[in-house]
Amino acid sequence: MLLNQRASFPLAQRFHAQGAPIGEVFSFISGLYFRGKLAYAGRFAAGLTYVITAREGLARPQLIVTPRDLEETAEIPIDASEPRYREPLERDCRQLDCAEIVLLGSIATPKYFEPLTGLYGERVLFPEMFVGRGDMSRGGLMLRAAASGQELGYIPALTAVRRGKRPPKLPKL
């Protein structure tokens, strides 16, 4: 929908005319999950938030992207064995000056887990309540935490259960 040049909603019009922030674009594409990530990071890590991209490595959520950028990005698989994805990510991670990284993405697959833990080891943290949850459940959890001001508890991703038992559904709001 976003790439459709005839789309008339405001984000699409702005996206085609001058580009739009990658955070907004990804929030539209992935919905609840990415909105939850941005809300949570904005509440608990304001100014220290990065988006993992397939082509650019780490990007600030405010980075302006165009339809062409999005199409070129879509050509690169987000796969730990894909050098076009992994090399920019590792390059940018090496430039970070931080004691720890909180990953708000999945650790169930190697796409984020391997590059980040390969560089930072035990310093890559992960919300323990994410274990066993799908994308939408994690998004809902992060939105609730951001709204309540209650930060989630973190554990090292290297020692976390990567594929756990599914927890009960979140209560309806």
Decide: 104 and 145 in contact? Cβ < 8 Å.
Answer: no
pLDDT tens for each residue of 112-148: 999 999 999 999 999 999 988 888 899 999 999 999 9
This prediction has a pTM of 0.88
| Kind plus residue range of the DSSP H or E element containing 156 | strand 154-156
Please state whether beta strands 20-21 and 124-127 pair in parallel, antiparallel, or not at all (unpaired).
Answer: unpaired
Phi-psi region of 149 (alpha: psi -120 to 50; beta: other; left: phi over 0): left
Q: Which residue has the tokens 């756990």?
A: 164
Please enumerate in sequence order all residues whose Cβ is within 8 A of that of 92, keeping only pairs 6 or more positions apart, or say none. Answer: 50, 57, 58
Local confidence band at 172 (pLDDT 50, 70, 90 cut-offs): confident
pLDDT tens for each residue of 55-102: 999 999 999 999 999 999 999 999 999 999 999 999 999 998 888 999
Across the range 96-111, mean pLDDT stands at 88
More confident residue, 2 or 168: 2
How far apart are the C-alpha atoms of 77 and 6, rounded to whole Å?
27
Radius of gyration of the chain (CA): 16
> 14 burial class (0-12, 13-18, 19+ CB within 10 angstroms)?
middle
Phi-psi region of 24 (alpha: psi -120 to 50; beta: other; left: phi over 0): alpha
Tokens coding 2? 């976003």
Phi, psi of 125 (to 5 degrees): -105, 160
